[in-house]
């Protein structure tokens, strides 16, 4: 019974979040619809029509950004945990990351300190959503280019992932606010990415720390419990 009460509380928070997220998605879509309707007016000059088209596209892009930052979080249930290889998962994300880094003139370095799989118990989709949000933030912190380094290693019973960037960095005040719903310093930001990251890391019993220096860059350190399958030996 105690378990159920705790879950009910959790779902209530999730329900509230879902309501405010729908609102955040609906606003830019309503704007986009408005500008699309305006575009249908007769006698508009080319310049005005083009401006309306841009506003409409901006609205749709913003709604899309909210959906992608929030993507798998919409199903925040605790699904059965399965062994996942974080090396393979990170490599599998690169086709999504590369177009973004290339556009931003960011060099991506990946260093796995250990050969072979790095296993943890978790959910592939949630892990990917976490890492994608963190990697996107790192790239977005370097609007004029730079280097993003992703390192993995093991330390005792832990799997460690570090994402560092040579970007704009964060002030103490910003660091304190990171993960607060809708906190963003970006013109087209959603302020939802880190909220999702923190919740998903917790759901998979991991830890996350940020270190940052304004004008120098940011280091994100994520740790999960390492999964070591028990080898069953037959004795008969």
Binding footprint of ligand ADP on the chain (CB under 6 A)? 133, 137-138, 141, 165, 167-170, 174, 178, 183-186, 189-195, 218
Q: Which residues contribute to the site for Mg ion (CB under 5 A)? A: 137, 193
By beta-carbon distance, which residue lies closest to ligand ADP? Answer: 193
Q: Minimum Å distance from CB 28 to ligand ADP? A: 13
Question: Which of ligand ADP, Mg ion, none interacts with 97 (beta carbon under 5 to 8 A by kind)?
Answer: none
Q: Minimum Å distance from CB 161 to Mg ion? A: 17
How far apart (Å, rounded) are the C-alpha atoms in residues 195 and 233? 43
Question: Which of ligand ADP, Mg ion, none interacts with 101 (beta carbon under 5 to 8 A by kind)?
Answer: none
Of 162, 126, 148, 158, nearest to 217 (Cα)? 148
Q: Minimum Å distance from CB 142 to ligand ADP? A: 8
Three-class HEC string of 50-119: HHHHHHHHHHHHHHHHHHHHHHHHHCCCCCCCEEEEHHHHHHHHHHHHHHHHHHCCEEEEEEECCCCCCE
End-to-end C-alpha distance for the chain, whole angstroms = 43
The residue (of 101 and 190) whose beta carbon lies closer to ligand ADP is 190
């Amino acid at each position: 019974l105690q378990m159920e009460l705790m879950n009910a509380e959790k779902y209530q928070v999730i329900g509230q979040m879902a309501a405010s997220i729908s609102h955040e998605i609906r606003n830019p879509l309503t704007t986009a619809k408005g500008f699309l309707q305006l575009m249908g007016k007769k006698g508009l000059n080319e310049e005005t029509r083009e401006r309306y088209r841009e506003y409409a596209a901006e609205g749709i892009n913003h709604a899309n950004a909210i959906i992608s930052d929030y993507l798998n979080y919409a199903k925040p249930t605790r699904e059965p945990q399965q062994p996942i290889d974080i090396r393979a998962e990170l490599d599998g994300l690169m086709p999504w990351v590369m177009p973004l880094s290339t556009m931003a003139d960011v060099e991506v370095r990946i260093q796995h300190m250990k050969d072979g799989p790095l296993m943890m118990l978790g959910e592939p989709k949630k892990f990917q959503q976490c890492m994608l949000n963190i990697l996107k933030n790192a790239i977005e912190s370097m609007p004029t280019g730079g280097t993003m380094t992703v390192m993995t290693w093991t330390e005792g019973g832990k799997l460690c992932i570090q994402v560092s960037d040579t970007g704009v960095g964060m002030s103490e005040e910003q660091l304190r606010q990171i993960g607060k719903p809708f906190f963003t310093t970006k013109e087209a930001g959603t302020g939802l990415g880190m909220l999702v990251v923190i919740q998903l890391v917790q759901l998979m019993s991991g830890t996350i720390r940020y270190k940052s220096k304004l004008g120098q860059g940011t280091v994100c350190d994520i740790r999960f419990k390492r999964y070591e399958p028990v080898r069953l030996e037959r004795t008969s």
